[in-house]
A and B are shown apart, each in its own frame.
Chain A
Amino acid sequence: EVQLVESGGGLVKPGGSLRLSCATSGFTFTKAWMSWVRQAPGKGLEWVGQIKSKIDGGTTDYAASVKGRFTISRDDSKNTLYLQMNSLKSEDRAVYYCTMVGSGWYLGHWGQGTLVTVSS
């Protein structure tokens, strides 16, 4: 069974940093493309970015709203995905979901999410 478990959320001050983790199991992580999606309170879903498998180049892509501030990385030895968030703004407050990207650019499996609050 595919499992994605996010952690690392919490309260951070504007301008601060936070690193989210997504521990995975039940599939071959090294071959998987992974993505982060967020949802601000009471708002819709927003695609944050993705990382390809190392076999496919390991490259990353980001939404314009986070590019230059957020970095997605992976540790294949730990089957874990990361989201490093810097220069956080109040509008980054959201539940952050880890997802697995299926062939065909879709989000195939979802974690339960972790809440990030940005407030002074």
Chain B
Amino acid sequence: DAGVIQSPRHEVTEMGQEVTLRCKPISGHNSLFWYRQTMMRGLELLIYFNNNVPIDDSGMPEDRFSAKMPNASFSTLKIQPSEPRDSAVYFCASSFQRKAFFGQGTRLTVV
């Protein structure tokens, strides 16, 4: 298996633009997570899906953030409009038997 695949690896965008991050989880994993890594908070959980259904989105910072999982093999995290404070590394992970496997992350820079 190729592991969790995220795209793009790097994204530079201007403030106010829409940004969409993509994730393909490992086949057979029924849970998917979006995390954001910051120096202050470490790995911060944004949203968690189980069987494609959002279970916990309490970590989503504000209404500018939204996430979807239309099927078991694809998820998106969208920021609209983006702001400089959204600059961070965003990780997608899928899990099986309580072990999460992470993608390589998307480094987002909003200028």
Q: Do A and B bind each other?
A: no
Which residues of chain A have a CB within 8 Å of any CB of chain B?
none
